[in-house]
Amino acid sequence: MISLQNITKVYSMGPVEVRALDDVSFDISDGDYVSIMGPSGSGKSTLMHIVGCLDRPSSGRYSLQGEDVSTLDDTELAHVRNKRIGFVFQQFNLLPRETVLGNVEIPLMYAGLGGRERRRIAAAALARVGLADRMHHRPAEISGGQKQRVAIARALVNSPSLILADEPTGNLDSRTGGEILAILDKLNAEGCTIVLVTHDRSVAERARRIVQLRDGAVERIEDLGVGRSAGRGPEFGGHS
Amino acid sequence: MGIAETIGVALRNLWANKLRTALSVLGIVIGVASVITMISAGSSAQKQITSDISALGSNMIMVTPNLKPGTQGRNYQHLLTMSLADQIQAAAPAVSAVSPVAQMEGRIIAGGSSASAVITGITPAYTRIVSTRIALGRSLIQSEIDAAAHSIVLGAEAATDLFGSEDPIGRHVALVSGDHRAPFTVVGVTESKGALLWTNADTQAFIPVTTLLYRMSPIKRVSTYFCQASSAQAADVAVAQVERFLASVAGTPDAFSVASQASLIDAIKQVTATMTLLLGTIAGISLIVGGIGIMNTLLTSVAERTREIGVRKSLGACNRDILLQFLSEALVLSMLGGTVGMLLGWLGGAGIARIAGWPVSVDLSSVVAAVSFSTAVGLIFGTYPALQASRMDPVQALRYE
């Protein structure tokens, strides 16, 4: 259960104060699939950074599975990101010098796992996204869709309570993007909580709910119907 | 994250930028190598000089008029007599032998060949004090001193120059110095001892000091009194006794300088230690320059990998993980440089010693000091970039293009 209560984020740029988020409140229950939408400048990114524990709200309370994380220090936040949040970025953000397997191992490494166990868990995560045969390639040697699947494997390798996807299809063609969304559908069907940030309505509609932001505030929350995404979409894994 | 993984990541990153890594390591290599080279060359030189001084004689004490600027030594030259030697011997119980010595430049002529030589006037005690060995014939005897005899003992090299492989014993030579020319009979040849410091006994020729003073030279003064302490332990006591006696004779402690071999060695050691420290410090500055090179490399690396830092933080790296990662890169660089520099420095020190003909002496403590100093340099100059990396805001870092 994720709960945002009266979240406000204010940046001060010299004498000017910019109110990026203004009194945002909503809940996301476990296993939910929520899209955050809004035009650029609406506060999507800021909200994503706060939900992802990359940033702290100026005021308000953010609780993640009952724990108030809005007041944690840097090290505690790093710990939360490591254990409970998996990130999927628009630019994939794989480390070019590491192999595919090495990239997926990184969260496990920061969690303090030993080499053998890391490799086992990372390999299993890669198998879940259908990339068992690409483990020893470098990111430069695989396609964009495959890169994003590696990123998803990396995001879920520590069994997080939340997967946070920021425009995950933004750098992909529509077919490959569809494959990625299908993987997210499948993960959600398996019980993963997913928050997807996008400006694309058709992508956002994969979720059960859409949180529409405007000028740093929640404009409306659309309920697209419980179970709408669950079990839907093609099987993924065979489309590489 | 464990140490092994941190170092593994560091090695991969350094390997990915081989040229940059090599260049920044080079600074440390040069620094460490020059520190070790300088210090080991200094200690080699010191060893050589010390062993030369030891070989000059045994428990030797040299008494010379004090000619240092600001002293009055020149006013006491009338005291430099033959009989002063006996008086020193009588007044200083810790002194077992005294030989008055006088020297002049001269030329020895034997048949068709001639050799220039330093002619040293001595007494029999001299041979013992400076540990000269006789290879052929005999050394000068007391009766020859008493009689101011025209007997000569040739240095090994002088003998070869004049007589080649022939036996020089009993041969007649002419000794020319200034206007004086006198016939001498060769009674002995010394064993070769080689050059020691500024002297070479092999090219000298030895005659009774009385002959030199009264028959050959216009200057009727002894130049040095070579004394021998009865033992190494007695050297300091002997120096004190001689000093006290000479001060009473001259009426001032400034007239003569009395130096034991040990004090000479100490003085030389002090000089070489100062030189070594000076050279080592200059070399140490190059190590600091190397440290700046490491810092520059790391700052570039931090800037280039801003996004990577953001990604790692988003995946759960805490500030400490990032700090350790960049610090370990600095350490790997400086320790790599330290190791290569150590090997080069050892080679450099050995090379200089070999060229100069000194004993090779690479001080283990200088190696330890240089390598630990370079590691410290890596840590110190790596800390700032590593802190900068660790304190990066993950949101800003992820946005970095």
Separation between Cα atoms, residue B62 and residue B185, nearest integer Å: 29
List the single residue in B with minimal CA-CA distance to A55.
B395
The residue-averaged pLDDT of B109-138 equals 89
Position B295 scores a pLDDT of 92
Contact criterion met (CB below 8 Å) for A125 and A100: no
Q: Which residues of A touch B398 (CB under 8 A)?
A: 54, 89, 93
Q: So what's the pLDDT on residue A95?
A: 93
- B319 to chain A, any CB pair closer than 8 A? The answer is yes
A124: pLDDT strictly greater than 90: yes
CA distance A81 to chain B (A): 5
Please give the residue of chain B at the shortest CA–CA distance from A158.
B315
- CA-based nearest distance A139→chain B, Å: 14
B7 contacts chain A (CB < 8 A) = no
Interface ipTM: 0.90
Q: Do B321 and A110 touch (CB under 8 A)?
A: yes
Q: Check whether A231 has a pLDDT greater than 50.
A: no
Using the predicted structure, report yes or no on whether residue A195 has a pLDDT greater than 60.
yes
- Give the whole-angstrom CA distance, residue B227 versus residue A5: 100
Q: Alpha-carbon distance B122 to B400, whole Å?
A: 88
Its pTM stands at 0.74
The Cα–Cα gap between A197 and A203 comes to 9
Q: Work out the pLDDT band at B73, boundaries 50, 70, 90.
A: low
Q: Which of A40, A54, A76, A113 to mutate to test the interface with B (most CBs of B within 10 A)?
A: A54
Size of interface A-B (CB pairs under 8 A): 64
Chain-chain contact of A110 with B1 (C-beta, under 8 angstroms): yes
Q: Is B109 helix (H, G, I), strand (E, B) or coil?
A: strand
Residue of B8, B27, B5 whose CA lies nearest to B16: B8
Question: Does position A237 have pLDDT exceeding 60, yes or no?
Answer: no
Find the Cα–Cα–Cα–Cα dihedral B311, B314, B320, B324, rounded to 10°: -20
Q: Of A55, A81, A108, which to mutate for an interface test with B (greatest number of B Cβ within 10 Å)? A: A81
Residue B290: CB partners within 8 Å, gap ≥ 6? B24, B26, B27, B28, B29, B30, B31, B32, B334, B337, B374, B377
Q: Alpha-carbon distance B118 to A228, whole Å? A: 114
Residue B188: pLDDT over 90? yes
Q: Do A93 and B13 touch (CB under 8 A)?
A: no
Residue contact B320–A75, C-beta within 8 A: yes
Question: Residue A235's pLDDT is what?
Answer: 42
Residue A168 reports pLDDT greater than 60 = yes
**Does residue B2 belong to the interface with chain A, where contact is any CB pair within 8 Å?**
yes
Q: Which residues, at least 6 apart from A215, have a Cβ–Cβ distance to it below 8 Å?
A: A22, A41, A42, A43
Q: How much is the average pLDDT of B317-329?
A: 93
Q: Mean of the pLDDT values across residues A178-188? A: 92
Are A97 and B13 an interchain contact pair (Cβ–Cβ within 8 Å)? yes
Residue pLDDT, tens place only, A69-84 = 888 899 999 999 999 9
Q: At what angle do helices B319-356 and B306-314 cross, to 10 degrees?
A: 130
- CB contact (8 A) between residue B318 and residue A110: yes
| Yes or no, beta carbons of B314 and A52 under 8 Å apart | yes
Interface of B with A in 335-394 (CB under 8 A): 394
pLDDT of residue B1: 67
pLDDT at A234 over 60: no
Evaluate whether B295 touches B382 at the Cβ level (below 8 Å).
yes
Q: What is the pLDDT confidence band of residue B37, given thresholds at 50, 70 and 90?
A: confident
Q: Do B316 and A158 touch (CB under 8 A)?
A: yes
- With contacts defined as CB-CB under 8 Å, which chain B residues touch A158? 316
Q: What value does the mean pLDDT take over residues A48-64?
A: 92
**pLDDT of B72:** 64
Contact (CB<8Å) B315/A55: no
Instruction: Note whether B308 contacts A: Cβ–Cβ < 8 A.
Output: yes
Contacts of A78 in chain B (CB under 8 A): 313, 316-319, 321
Please report residues of A whose CB lies closer than 8 A to that of B392. Answer: none
Contact B398 A158 (CB under 8 A): no
The minimum CA-CA distance between B394 and chain A, rounded to whole Å, is: 6
* DSSP assignment letter at B17: T
pLDDT average, residue stretch A53-71: 90
Confidence of residue A240 (pLDDT cuts 50, 70, 90): very low
Give me the residue from A75, A106, A115 closest to B315, CB to CB: A106
| Fold category of A2-223 in CATH | Rossmann fold (3.40.50)
Mean pLDDT of chain B, nearest integer: 88
Residue whose structure tokens are 């011997």: B89
Under the phi-then-psi rule, with left for phi > 0, alpha for psi from -120 to 50, and beta for the rest, what region is B280? alpha
Domain positions in chain B are 3-52+268-399, 67-254
Can you tell me the distance from the alpha carbon of A128 to that of A182, in angstroms, rounded to the nearest whole number? 13
Is B316 within 8 Å of A87 when comparing Cβ atoms?
A: no
